[in-house]
Amino acid sequence: MVELEKKPYYLTDEDCRWVQDTIAQMTPEEKVGQLFFQLTQSKDETYIRELMERYHVGGCRYNPALGKDVWELNRNLQKYSKIPLFLACNTEAGGDGACADGTLIGSGVKIAATDQREYAFALGQMANAEAAALGCNMAFAPVCDILYNWQNTEVATRAFGSDPKRVADLSLEYMKGAHTNKGFACVAKHFPGNGQDFRDAHLSNNVNDSTVEQWEESYGYVYRTLIENDLEAIMGGHIFLPEYARAINPDLTDDDLMPSTLSPEIMTELLRNRLGFNGMVVSDASHMVSMTDRMRRVDMLPRAINAGCDMFLFFNDPDEDFHTMLNAYQTGVISEERMEEALTRILGLKAHLGLHRKKKEELVPKREYLEKVLGREAHKKMAERISRDCITLVKYKDKDVLPVTPGRYPRIMIVSITGKGGQLEELMKMMGRTGNNPAEELRKKLCAQGFDVFIYESPMERMRKQIAAGETPSLDIYFAGKNAISEFTQNMDLVITLCDVPSGRPSFGMSKGGGEIPWYVFELPVIVVGCGQPTMLADIPQARTYINTYDAKEHTLNALVECLMEGPEAFRGKDPIDSYCGLLDTHL
């Protein structure tokens, strides 16, 4: 039973009647359509009209685009929707999760490193002010995962660290900030909690192996905190929680275990009955392997609804998925009672946001408002403040390395380390959208301070240049690093190893004696800087001075240079995880 008068809906009698009357008047096709959240692939008006009129979807999220294009898309989506839509965005780190020209304010781990709750509030407020100006009314945020496994690169930068209380506090502040935007909802993710397994649920299974007691003290604590403070919705993650599932249903065999989005033990008994969550539940994306590898898709769709998900994230093929769900409803696989329960939560949340009281043309703000809000100077200044307060001096074994000044280190070599790169990164390179070069940006900033700075060229890069020039590459270059140490060190006074790895692990050239890997930390001063994944000390454990900046944005690099030149006391950040990764050698 859904109690619309209670949290998180707080509906009036009139609002409740709208929910009930709307459901009573819906066709079977319209009911089924409300269960779907679709990822819109085009802003073509004909496509949008067909999507709304044929499939009656309950919500949409969209591919990244410029703010003006997202605004237009959202206007047309609401224009052709019979029932007002949820329009969601991924504003977990800033307005850039709502549109390409939105303001990136700071990732979860970056906010946590400042140890200031006000920044989490500002993130929720400012990121979603930009989203609301586009017509969005729902954030797929905050990220409530807890980084227990340093090898988990899926949430290492996105989560608010590894301490449950900090994660709960900052998630709550984010939600409070988001709620300052009238008619805006939060969807906390990824229930029942990512961060235990090293694997990425997009590509493989993901298991949370907590005992019941461990879960209650960690992830359970985080979700109870948000639920008690009017969290409207939760995103179910495709994450196994076997110990809790077995505690609820001792008869479960190993083959019976399911990711939580397909598990009634987790999505209904734990979330609804034990945590008392009365709000709406949406599944994580349905193309993720941790969901798709358990059964046929024709069985998976209705199973997610029956397990306790009220909405299903993204069609695969719209026609096929829609008719799969429609057939399940018409044949009783999805019961009338379960359908009505899901629709009551969906429409109840839309009523809570006041969408049913607005005219179609009022559901998305006027274009002039967007221009006032998107990229506000106050939002940019907040991002700069966070960058200055987050930079963390994690490891400092050589106590006299800092400060870095032109008098002490006139000539600096920067070694640029990047990640192996996923398919998306490779696609961006193919399209020529490589973004800025952090090593070159840092070089310019240091040169402006009076340093003589050059960027290391690896043997592999030299060989690539030979190939590009039509020459036969010399393998001797690859093996030429085994020279006198003095030949390597005589041309510089300090090395900065800049690891720009937003996802995955660092990738080293592995040439014989080359400079990519800092084997020379006892030969001359070396400062290793992590500009993405905060766990890269595990990959370069020999680093004697290691710094986390959490990203390589321009204002972050400005703050890094400032801290380097001022000395160790200038670093204000506090490590929100175990950046030593629980390894002995990282401490040496």
List active site positions: 284
Are 240 and 196 within 8 A, CB to CB?
A: no
d(CA 527, CA 544): 7
Cβ burial of 251 (10 Å; 0-12, 13-18, 19+) is exposed
Among candidate residues 310, 212, 338, 207, the one with its CA nearest the CA of residue 260? 207
Rounded CA gap, 119 and 162, in Å? 18
Phi-psi domain of 371 (left: phi exceeds 0; alpha: psi -120 through 50; beta: other): alpha
91 neighbors 97 (Cβ within 8 angstroms): yes
Go through the chain and tell me how many residues it has.
588
Please give the Cα distance from 138 to 168 (Å, whole number).
Answer: 20
- Beta bridge pairs of residue 453: 412
Which residue is it, tokens 């008869």? 251
Q: Cβ of 115: how many Cβ atoms within 10 Å?
A: 17
Q: Residue 191: enclosing H or E segment and its boundaries?
A: strand 185-191
What ranges make up the beta strands (E) of 246-298? 280-285
Whose tokens are 């402006």? That residue is 448
On the question of a cis peptide bond just before residue 403, with omega within 30 degrees of 0, the verdict is yes
Within 8 A by CB and 6+ apart from 306, the residues are 264, 333, 334, 338
Q: Please, which residues have CB within 8 angstroms of residue 215's CB and are 6 or more apart in sequence?
A: 192, 193, 208, 241, 243, 244
Three-state SS for 390? helix
CA distances from 546 to 87, 420, 510 (A): 41, 21, 21
